[in-house]
Amino acid sequence: MGIDDYGGGQTSPSDVLVVTTNDVPGYQVQQVIGEVFGLTVRSRHLGSQIGAGLKSMVGGELKGLTKTLVETRNQAMDRLVEQAKARGANAVLMFRFDVTAAADVGTEVCAYGTAVVIAPRP
């Protein structure tokens, strides 16, 4: 597996800038649109569960589960960007992830932040 299998974030240029900060240097917030989020729940694959169980006996990274989590986080982020764009935003500030177990059958990932319209400072 390559570095892309373990990384995340925006994969291509987007009309919506996503940052974890409260502001963007050199830009001012012209309009606050409000909270946006992208949510996905991914079930655990039986094969990866068995592999994880075996791997836990000897230690080490659970690569199958890591790859699944990266894919899930990226999907949640893509949905967040789609929602922000649909609401007229060109940026999302204070971007965060929340990850929880979903009824012991999967993983719920929520990407969230504040959708805004930003413009370069004069």
Per-residue pLDDT tens over the stretch 17-67: 999 999 999 999 999 999 999 999 887 655 545 554 554 556 666 677 777
**CATH code at position 94:** 3.30.110.70
What is the rounded distance in angstroms from the CA atom of residue 120 to the CA atom of residue 30? 10
Query: Is residue 10 assigned to a domain?
Result: no
pTM over 0.85: no
Of 94, 63, 79, the residue nearest 10 (C-alpha): 79
Domain that holds residue 83: 16-120
Task: Please state the domain count of the chain.
Answer: 1
**109 or 6, higher pLDDT:** 109
Query: Is residue 4 assigned to a domain?
Result: no
Query: Is residue 69 assigned to a domain?
Result: yes
Partners of 36 in the β-ladder: 113
Query: Is residue 3 assigned to a domain?
Result: no
Query: Is residue 89 assigned to a domain?
Result: yes
pLDDT confidence bin for 5, thresholds 50/70/90:
low
Query: Is residue 72 assigned to a domain?
Result: yes
pLDDT (0 to 100) of residue 35:
97
pLDDT (0 to 100) of residue 17:
95
| pLDDT, tens digit (0-9, with 9 covering 90-100), for 75-96 | 999 999 999 999 999 999 999 9
In contact, 97 and 85? CB cutoff 8 Å: no
pLDDT confidence bin for 6, thresholds 50/70/90:
low
pLDDT (0 to 100) of residue 89:
98
